[in-house]
Amino acid sequence: MTAAARVVDAAKVYGSGETEVRALDGVSVDFPAAGFTAIMGPSGSGKSTLMHCAAGLDTLTSGSARIGDVELSGLTDKQLTVLRRERIGFVFQSFNLVPTLTVRENITLPRDLSGRPADPEWIDALVDVVGLRDRLHHRPSELSGGQQQRVAVARALAGRPDVVFADEPTGNLDSRSGAEVLGLLGRAVHEMGRTAVMVTHDPVAAAHADEVLFLADGRLVDRMPEPTAERVLDRMKAFDGRAPGARRTPQEVGP
Amino acid sequence: MTGTRAAFRLSLSALRAHKRRFAGTFLAVLLGVSFLAGTMVMGDTLRANFDTLFVDANTGTDAVVRSADVIDAGQGGGVREPVRASLAGRLGKVPGVAAAVPSVQGAGQLIGSDGKPVGGQGPPTLAGNWITDARLNPYHLVEGSAPTSEHEAVINRGAAKKGGLKVGDTAVVRTPDPLRVRIVGIATFGGADGMGQVTFTALTLPTAQKYLTTGPDRASAIQVRAASGVSQREVADRIAPLLPKGSEVLTGQRATQENQDEVSGRFLGVFTTLLLVFAGIALLVATFSIHNTFAIVVAQRTRENALLRALGASRRQVVGSTLAEAVAVGLVSSLAGLLGGVGVALGLKALFPALGFGMPTGGMVITTAAMAVPLAVGVTVSVGSALVPAVRAGRTAPLAALRETAVDRSGASWKRAAAGAVLGAAGIALAVVGASGSPQVPVTATGAVLVVIAFVVLGPVASTAAVRVLGAPLPRLRGVTGALAGRNALRGPKRTAATATALMVGVAVVTLFTVFGASLKATMDRTVDRSFAGDVAITTPAFGAGGSGLSPRLAPAVGELPQVRESVGLGKGVAKVDGGGRELTVTDPRRLANVIDLGSVRGSLDGLGTGGVAVSRGEAGKHGWHLGSTARLVFADGQRQPFTVRAVYERGDLSGDYLITRRAWAPHRVQDRDTLVAVAFKDGVSLGAGRAAVEKTAAGYGHPDVQDRAEYAKSAARGVDLMLSTVYALLALAVLIALLGIANTATLAVHERTRELGLLRAVGQTRSQLRAMVRWESVLVAAFGTVGGLGLGAFLGWALVRAADSAGTSAFAIPVPRLGVVLLVGVVAGALAGLRPAGRAAKLDVLKAIGVE
């Protein structure tokens, strides 16, 4: 299996001397094409930093990050921007949509920014997948939180990106809306052949992925193929012994 | 008490935390206050310097004798009848009088070494006699010697510099008969280069009398110096009984005071009033900007204020803390503005001589009023602008702390739309009523004010539609970046309108003056086109009180030319009619009709003789005259003489309202001069040939300008361009303040949209696209303000032109190319205003921006 994105010996250091913090400390990982990878770990484990660096939103202190065969270090801001626009899709925890644009305009935004119009059939198909056909001309403020995240997923897929990076996409949603969004990401990977990388601290969310990576203290400490919520929760509890990890209690997480 | 202190501490910490947000407010107040303080300081300084100058120059004069009656027909000071020069001899023998000398003064314009007239663009160009008593003469030789023969002259240093003349040079003085003189001396006035910008050519007494008066025994005044130990009052009292009827004596102090008042009233008064008006406009514009800033800041701080309220702060404390911020900003920026004002005054004082405006020198005068008034105005403007936002801050519900960051997105209410529509309709109706039919300026002015208010009130209603229309081409031009810019400008209609209103006011005033100026020019064009029936006009272009006019011998000399069919000179006289000063046109009325179209004439222009007058229809109507009525004219020599109205003519725009013959004027004349010679060629004579012949003849009379019809119309309107340039320069500040307002709003908007900008960058908006988006938004706001201002200004210009046109002769013109430039400047300036906020927005760190709560 080829990698849609990969980091090799990735290190990210903030500050220096006494106050030095190693957010990433020699992480090497491949995100396989047409795979759905979840990244988990306690707060401060470096999972968000890993995703930001892999996605070209942040730069590594040392090591290498690639999207496909493009090495990210050494790219100018403009080249990174274009790369994000052309080859990456993003879903953030909240504030994913531009309030002045309609649902449809938000979905096609990256395409419109590139100046090359989106493929209308593909957009049409996406709209049906996320089930927002009757909301196309609404503004984000007229949608529920779950609907907004579904629009964000559609936007992330609109340009047929190499990888979709999702940063806590369900963090602000109730469990039903969250399940819908995760279902969409799963379909994108398994039915449309996209690649997805998701940072989460919700074991239920992580269970939607093909594989879960566990980070602690800036290092890759474990991998779990074909995860289930229970196994992920158990693995996370091991971290809780050392440091306060996931914010949610098991009761909240349960199915 | 502690509560107040807490509120104050809060506002200070808020100011410290948000320095950048108030940068625009600070600058707006600073600039406005600088302008105001600079104007006041400069006005006081110039006034004091002129006062000192006159005191210095007139220090040796203890009494002045002159004719008591004065007629002021509006231009260039009053006209007085001369006194007898021989009176000086008699006064000199009065005990207590050390010296009494005649002083002759008239119009006399020097021609510089480059062949061009020196001065004449406002201040008087004078000639007179060199007073031989050094202590009575306000001028003092600094080089050369006094004139001793008819062809010698002393000129003031300012005129020498301007005309490139030095001792030993030969020059021509238009008196208006050309007099060729050798410059034998250079003089100063009270230690300065001259009396302000006034040029002075001093001749011997007999020469001055020959060229500047109408007889050998005439003088403008007699200057008297008292013997030592005799007071000014005493010497004046001793002279008084000896004076002929119609003359008066005043002390030297009183004469100096009159000089000072004249300069203050005529020149400085107009000058400072003009500057103050424009400082007021700048501050008005600043008010809009400041109000907008506070409104936005208060909206952005809703959560913070709500938290304070939830924690127990009273409504008053929240209002107080916002107002305290306004006071602090107003105070600090006004104080800085005072410093700036003194700097402006110093700079202008240094700049004036460099531009060729010699002003008297002397120290800066900084009065308490010149500091206190701008400071008070600056603080008042700040606090006044913040009042409504502060009250709104006080109304913040404690619950608002729990909501998402509240931003004022409220649009226009129907109440606002209705109120604006009613105001606007009433204003337009009043303006139109006042401007049509029989024009009434006050009615139109009231209407104009209402229309301006309506524009401000309707701003938020109009902004949505206007931005939609103006922004319509943007998506096609700039794709989604342009579309986003347009949508952003639509987000807060109130905010967009308030930002644009400041610019709108500035642009409206610019447009008003532009339209008014163009209409004046068009009126001149039409007047010449309609009323000037000749082929060329001979004039000495001058402005205000300057210039010397034309020799009365020129018209007959030109009339002798074989190419010329008719050549008529028009001179100016003054008389009082029903108590008011009026200009009379002294000419040959019978022949005048051959070169100037007077329209339909009732009665006859032939044989007015010494007892007849022709009057324009408008003036006849005002006084209730008909053919055969008697018009009572009182001349400067005190003579009242009844004239019979023998003709009433339709158009007086070029010829003036009263025509009398030269013979009728002769007994009352002071200095013979024509202001215009209208020339018509014989049939078959080409313009070029005729003009060349006239120019050759005119060269012998001091080189006046010979102009064809188009040039004549243009030169008549030359003052308009000068006025417009001045107004544009003065309005530049108001427009700058408005643009600062746009920049400030853009900065605040960038601040509150940080997360959105971060998102856009994350999903692929490049830095340059982001910059373009912010810039285009401010271009849209600027375009809205500019277009609104153009419309408002054009309407007000139309109303003003129509309302001021009692005779129904004015033309109305909209100078499209010039207004196109205004539009372009507005839009480009909008892009410039967006430059810095766009740069700051583009520098945002994507991750931090997304993470911002």
Q: B233, B239 in Cβ contact below 8 A?
A: no
pLDDT value at residue B432 = 85
* Burial readout B639-663 (b: 16 or more C-beta within 10 A, e: otherwise): eeeebbbbbbbebbbbbbbbbbbbe
Q: Cβ A95–B850 below 8 Å, yes or no?
A: yes
Q: How many CB pairs under 8 A join A and B?
A: 70
Q: Cβ B846–A57 below 8 Å, yes or no?
A: yes
Q: What is the 3-state secondary structure (H, E, C) of B661-682?
A: EHHHHHHHCCCCCEEEEEEEEC
* Burial readout B710-734 (b: 16 or more C-beta within 10 A, e: otherwise): ebbbbbbbebbeeebeebeebbebb
A155 → closest Cβ in B491, B763, B846:
B763
Q: Cβ B847–A52 below 8 Å, yes or no?
A: yes
Q: Cβ A82–B766 below 8 Å, yes or no?
A: yes
Nearest CA distance, B2 vs chain A (angstrom): 41
CATH superfamily, region A3-241? P-loop containing nucleotide triphosphate hydrolases (3.40.50.300)
pLDDT value at residue B819 = 93
Chain A hits for B763, CB-CB cut-off 8 Å, are: 84-85, 90, 109-110, 113, 155
Per residue in A145-190, pLDDT tens? 899 999 999 999 988 898 999 999 998 889 899 999 999 999 999 9
pLDDT higher than threshold 70 for residue A248: no
Dist. CA B22–CA B392, nearest whole Å: 19
Phi, psi of A190 (to 5 degrees): -85, -30
pLDDT value at residue A204 = 92
Nearest CA distance, B765 vs chain A (angstrom): 6
All residues at 6 or more sequence positions from B695 whose CB lies less than 8 Å from its CB, including other chains: B706
Q: B723, B267 in Cβ contact below 8 A?
A: no
Per residue in B786-836, pLDDT tens? 999 999 999 999 988 888 776 667 788 889 999 999 999 999 999 999 998
Per residue in A29-72, pLDDT tens? 999 999 999 999 888 889 989 999 999 888 899 999 999 889 99
All residues at 6 or more sequence positions from B221 whose CB lies less than 8 Å from its CB, including other chains: B64, B65, B66, B83, B102, B103, B105
pLDDT value at residue A245 = 41
Whether B703 contacts chain A with CB within 8 A: no
Nearest CA distance, B391 vs chain A (angstrom): 29
Q: B585, B572 in Cβ contact below 8 A?
A: yes
Whether B533 contacts chain A with CB within 8 A: no
Question: Could you write out the DSSP letters of every residue in B773-838?
Answer: HHHHHHHHHHHHHHHHHHHHHHHHHHHHHHHT-SSS-------HHHHHHHHHHHHHHHHHHTHHHH
Which of the 8 DSSP states describes residue B399? G
Per residue in B630-681, pLDDT tens? 999 888 877 888 999 999 998 888 888 999 999 998 888 877 788 899 999 9
Neighbours of A90 (CB within 10 A): 25
Whether B844 contacts chain A with CB within 8 A: no
User: What ipTM does the predicted assembly reach?
Assistant: 0.85
pLDDT value at residue B4 = 65
With a cut of 50, which residues of chain B have pLDDT below it? 1, 405-407, 853
All residues at 6 or more sequence positions from B601 whose CB lies less than 8 Å from its CB, including other chains: B593, B614, B647, B648, B649, B650
pLDDT value at residue B653 = 83
Q: A235, A214 in Cβ contact below 8 A?
A: yes
Q: How many residues does chain B have?
A: 853
Q: Cβ B763–A52 below 8 Å, yes or no?
A: no
Q: How many residues does chain A have?
A: 255
Q: Cβ A92–B481 below 8 Å, yes or no?
A: no
Give the burial class of A18: count Cβ atoms within 10 A of its Cβ; 0-12 exposed, 13-18 middle, 19 or more buried: exposed
Chain B hits for A58, CB-CB cut-off 8 Å, are: 847
Chain A hits for B766, CB-CB cut-off 8 Å, are: 78, 81-82, 113
Question: How large is the C-alpha radius of gyration of chain B?
Answer: 33
Instruction: Pick the residue of B474, B480, B770 with the most A CBs within 10 A to test the interface with A by mutation.
Output: B480
